[in-house]
Structure 1
Amino acid sequence: MSGRSATAEPAPGAEILAAGTVCWRRVRASDGGERVMVLLIHRTKQRDVSFPKGKLDPGESMPQAAVRETREETGLSVSLGVNLGTIQYALSGGRSKTVQYWAAEVTAATALASTFTPNGEVQALEWVPVEEARRRLSYRADRELYDVFLGLAEHGLLETFSVTLLRHAKAEPRSAAFPEDRARPLRPSGEEQAETLVPILEAFGPRRILSSTATRCLATVAPLAEHLGKRVREKEELSQDFWDAGDLDPLRRTVGKLVAKARSAIVCSHRPVLPDLARELTLATGSVPGRYIEEAAALPPAGFSVFHFSRLRPGAGILGVETYPLQH
């Protein structure tokens, strides 16, 4: 699926884009065990029960909107987990609405930091047991989407991490001014892409940033690293020069370590290297190979694909892939 932006005022017959989350947390049960609780919101004007969601702001991506709307409606600052799919329905005036949802884990600290107070949009928040939430939802489309979430919960796959494969932004071509490939800088448009990527990639809660040693890759992730206050881990094996030499063992070891750590990471590399990175992710997690892997690695400059895995059972394979060909 791809990231999309909204216009300021939808025209008659236009598609309205929105995004939201199914927030969940684990709490201690009375018997000493744990149980999964799901967050429902009671909207004031509509008098219904649903999930946090809202329309995209102009120029905003779906992931950005999901995180922002969740924070605005619930006071919870979350990162996105597995994509649960989309809901589409008709509106008056020949318009339609598409809402994309993600699972979002809420830690105890995040729940305690919530700034929610009842307001004109959301009357109340309610945490309910995972098995009870479905019947409380007001709309059939929400219940059908929730079935996807329930499937993950039933198989113990709610706790997830992601590995994002990112192609560097637009770079200057090789020329007399830039004879060395690894030293080519970003174009001005590429620098703008790097800045645009920051809030979109941040939505997935990256804990680590890895990059090829090439200037264009380092410059692509530099704004994100600065924003998050994180160090960029430079990896020679992610560079095109290293890949051209034909030794893939270091690349395989790097991917294996990423999977073993089970922490969300961003990996910035080059067009020829990305298919091998995607293949190694597939092998390291026992995932089913297929054309979807090739498609996820065929990225334009500044495009990226987010691979989701179980944090507790990475060997369960790829739980989902979402691809964003950054439009700029």
Structure 2
Amino acid sequence: MSEDLLAAGTVCWRRVPTPAGEQLLVLLIHRTKQRDVSFPKGKLDPGESMPQAAVRETLEETGLRVSLGVMLGTIHYDLNGGSRRKTVQYWAAEVTGAAALASTFTPNGEVQALEWVPAAEARARLSYRADRELYDVFLRLAEHDLLDTCTVTLLRHAKAEPRGADTPEDHLRALTAAGQQQAQILVPILEAFGPKRIRSSTARRCLETVAPLATHLGSRVRATKALSQDFWDAGDLADTRRLMGKIVKQGKNTVICSHRPVLPDLARELVLATGSVPGDYLAAAAALPPAGFSVFHISRTRPGAGILAVETYPLKH
């Protein structure tokens, strides 16, 4: 069998007011050629990541600009009688009122129609069993009021110059040319998760890693010693614990750039701040190569429900 064909998509949702209260609606697409009903999705472009593709395909098929919420899972199915296999990764994605009004969708040769349907009715409309099984994950989150999520992204700084005579102080080490390239590659991938705040260690290599993202988003970087390796080496993590608790309480999508030795403690503080169950997943999420990152999904309104999902990306370029 040849290499998997990779694709990504979203289960778009919104809440609309009704006389009886809010109603949860889910977006279904009616595809023209296939004559089926499914969710927005599509193949990855060359060099594209799964998160980028999910956001781009949603925009191209529906005219809706979204940011990714909690990851729902991955489905697999065979193509051409089993000669190829398709792998599709899905995220929940809230559609704001402004995004819905700004949609540029018109019926076309790929998508004939968009249909917003009550969440309880969407499953029966879907054409494929794999989509229905994936949608069950979405329904379980909705049942427990866990769709409204925020992300905390732990990012290891990009490749930096080694410590030497030119930079005897560790915190002054700059990114290499390869590290600067990694910092640029990170921008569209991290943007897919809708970051609202950027926090960084005070070390130069961390600040340089998030600088392109901050410039692209028009955001400022909140630099703090509590995320630095020097602070971690001193052994007093009280300020770090307070900071991670504050980030969880604020409920805003936040990117945190720090250092390899510090990341496991930052991940553990996320577990403590959300009452999550620790496990092997935590070590895997913190064991990042330069410019690698892990996205932790947490309920915005019920953070005590624990970490809902974690996805890890060792940057490839």
Q: Aligned-pair distance for 1:133?
A: 0.1
2:62 to 69, 74, 77: 74
2:264 to 253, 272, 275: 275
TM-score (norm 2): 0.99
Q: Which residue is 2:173 aligned to?
A: 184
Which residue type is aligned with residue 71 of structure 2?
N
Q: Which residue is 1:89 aligned to?
A: 77
Q: Is 1:223 matched up with 2:217?
A: no
Q: Which residue is 2:96 aligned to?
A: 107
Q: How many pairs align?
A: 316
2:234 to 226, 245, 266: 245
Flag structure 2 segments of 5+ consecutive residues without an equivalent: none
**CA distance, structure 2, for counterparts of residue 263 and residue 21 of structure 1:** 21
1:63 to 51, 54, 71: 51
Q: Aligned-pair distance for 1:78?
A: 0.2
Which residue type is aligned with residue 141 of structure 2?
L
**CA distance, structure 2, for counterparts of residue 317 and residue 164 of structure 1:** 15
Deviation above 6 Å: which 4+ runs of structure 1?
Answer: none
Task: Give SS of 1:204's match.
Answer: coil
**CA distance, structure 2, for counterparts of residue 294 and residue 197 of structure 1:** 22
The C-alpha deviation readout for 1:258-310, integer Å capped at 9, x for no partner, is 01100110000000000000000000000001111111011110000000000
Q: Which residue is 2:163 aligned to?
A: 174
**What is the percent sequence identity of the aligned residues?**
76
Q: Aligned-pair distance for 1:14?
A: 2.1
Q: Which residue is 1:296 aligned to?
A: 285
Task: Give SS of 1:244's match.
Answer: helix
Q: Which residue is 2:36 aligned to?
A: 48
Q: Is 1:37 matched up with 2:25?
A: yes
Flag structure 1 segments of 5+ consecutive residues without an equivalent: 1-11
Q: Which residue is 2:313 aligned to?
A: 324
The C-alpha deviation readout for 1:172-229, integer Å capped at 9, x for no partner, is 0001111110000001000000000000000000000000000000000000000000
The C-alpha deviation readout for 1:124-169, integer Å capped at 9, x for no partner, is 0000000000000000000000000000000000000000000000
TM-score (norm 1): 0.95
Which residue type is aligned with residue 263 of structure 1?
K
Task: Give SS of 2:115's match.
Answer: strand
Task: Give SS of 1:243's match.
Answer: helix
Q: Which residue is 1:19 aligned to?
A: 8
Q: Which residue is 2:248 aligned to?
A: 259
Task: Give SS of 1:256's match.
Answer: helix
Q: Aligned-pair distance for 1:103?
A: 0.2
Q: Which residue is 2:183 aligned to?
A: 194
Q: Aligned-pair distance for 1:13?
A: 1.8
Q: Aligned-pair distance for 1:30?
A: 3.0
Which residue type is aligned with residue 59 of structure 1?
G
Which residue type is aligned with residue 44 of structure 2?
L
